[in-house]
Structure 1
């Protein structure tokens, strides 16, 4: 199933998405900036299941998805969650 990730980060030079689907590799899935408006996006094929993720802005700042509910990561931060089923994807 394809899942589109979008983040508004107008001052960012680089944005990636890291999560359980890529072993939290902050270099594996870099988003593409759409024009000069500060909108970054990527579409990834994810397997079925529940996936935690966060955006990594400029290689340093981990940001939960403001459009998705989050859960405590056990280290004092929040991760976003997306559930992928045969019928589509939804944030939890």
Structure 2
């Protein structure tokens, strides 16, 4: 049984944001985020098994963004991915 983990991303002006990471094979369409107008953030909750998960936000179908509030690790493309450890 996984643990429910919430992700949020503040991105003013974005028309769409999806969450992609090693938990979904970096598929940019599997986990679309929902815009919360009251908090002005994009949000999603996933059930994840314990472990470390690397991820990024994919904005408007063209730009990759890291989570500004998460730690980072180098990736194979010479940039960084955000990560979250799930207990």
After TM superposition, the score normalised by the length of structure 1 is 0.87
Once the two structures are TM-superposed, the CA of residue 37 in structure 1 deviates from its matched residue by: 5.7
Secondary structure of the residue aligned to 1:21 is helix
1:6 aligns with 2:4: no
Gaps of 5+ in 1: 86-92
Which residue in the other structure is 2:29 paired with? 27
| Residue-pair matches, total | 85
Gaps of 5+ in 2: none
Secondary structure of the residue aligned to 2:56 is strand
Runs of 4+ in 1 over 4 A off after TM superposition: none
Secondary structure of the residue aligned to 2:6 is strand
Which residue in the other structure is 2:67 paired with? 65
Which residue in the other structure is 1:55 paired with? 57
Once the two structures are TM-superposed, the CA of residue 74 in structure 1 deviates from its matched residue by: 2.0
After TM superposition, the score normalised by the length of structure 2 is 0.91
